Chain A
């Protein structure tokens, strides 16, 4: 569905010595995403996730590398590819002068939908995200959760084959978050490819068939959550030391138990299954983002 080869983005940047230089935001990444797959792109703040999404959604031209959708290069078939993709951005980017319904209508018109189809689809989606009551209100009046639901509805109007979601559930109630998760699973069953970035590792673990970890612009891991955990060791022992919390990973439960028995661990010791967050922190480093 999506094939990315050696994708690179460099931005102009003023170096510490004050000279003009370049900063590499995304550094030669390559991977493929299959049809109907839920694919997660994880990484610490500033790792290049949003830059990657902006390049994949044709909002930013790569410095080098190639992006192809079903074999079609984005530089040659930009209009055709834009029809295939839907985008839920990280920030709220509605037209502030239009109402909820008008914002959706603008999107539908930009995707060349006829008047009848437009109305039916908009009504259907407003009902789906439970925003019928505010359809004629200005978008400024919506609450944070309503805005995120509307972003999602807007991205789905033209029935995209690939949905990009940049931090789709940031700052949402657990209820709304669960609803969005259900929707993502539903889309995946309908063979829609979902490409998402997230800060919440448990979200990626719950949803994604495969995850990629991006660190300082480079791809440092790409696999199923199960394989990544297995590689690190399926069992985690954690306990308190003077320097802070300590972790050790084991492939076998027995080894973990033996190790735990040997530790003094005054404050108690815990043996638990390894989760994706352990993998994430091992790969991106404990001190990142501090």
Chain B
């Protein structure tokens, strides 16, 4: 099982290694724009409780960026299934199906973490204050796992490229803005707020902001992320097994 996880991860690592420089450069663009536009630009005139807006913003960017990167790292699996049919190699191989899901998710976590490290570096250059800790890393990893699993599920279920990009438009993009990333969910009308607070990214933002500010982690939020991560793995694994139906 572990060897098979490694095989799946190895494949993604070979591909990533070849494009590592391009990957890193591309990952710098979006966070840089967020930091400039919302940190320097708008942020100067915004006051949030207990610190600068930049300090408030950076955990939010970490949350939404790790979400987007881990989700999008899995989308090539969709092309492998529908267009290149290269997923057949794994279906006919004597491997445990869960090893495939796990390997792909871990590879997406790696990409998510590389891009998070870039943001942390940029944030320090922009003069933000944030405290790094193992708990903060754990939350980031959980967030990457959850959205890699959602990406995996989409890659298994969706049949066209167009619908695949609609997942980005209808699910990831609204979450990027609303889930406590750029502003506190307190500002939202109650009904919308309750809904937003059910979503995993909201809890990631809460946790990252709290941990980066030197405060502890909220256990409820951690539990919510845990439930999403386990549920996502179950659904992803089931969808992969159902490919042969």
Contacts and interface: CB of A to CB of B under 8 A. Distances in A.
Contacts of A110: 4, 7, 89-90, 93-95
B85 interface: yes
Main SS at interface, chain B: helix
A106 B245 CA distance: 25
A272 interface: no
Main SS at interface, chain A: loop
- Give chain A's interface residue range (CB within 8 Å of chain B): 20 to 34
Contacts of B86: 93-96
Residue in B10, B88, B90 whose Cβ sees the most chain A Cβ within 10 Å: B88
Given A59-B244, A60-B244, A111-B94, A93 B14 contact: no
Contacts of B7: 106, 109-110
Contacts of B80: 95
B3 A106 contact: no
B120 interface: no
Nearest to A95: B86
A102 B14 contact: yes
Contact of B85 (A61, A89, A106): A89
Given A89-B85, A96-B84, A98-B11, A58 B90 contact: no
A85 B92 contact: yes
Contact of A59 (B3, B76, B88, B95): B88
Contacts of B14: 98, 102
B137 to A, nearest CB: 28
B89 A95 contact: yes
Contact of A93 (B10, B15, B85, B244): B85
B91 interface: yes
B93 A59 contact: no
Interface in A83-141: 83, 85, 87, 89, 91, 93-98, 102, 106-107, 109-112
Contacts of A83: 94
Interface of B: 3-4, 7, 10-11, 14-15, 76, 80, 84-86, 88-96, 244-245
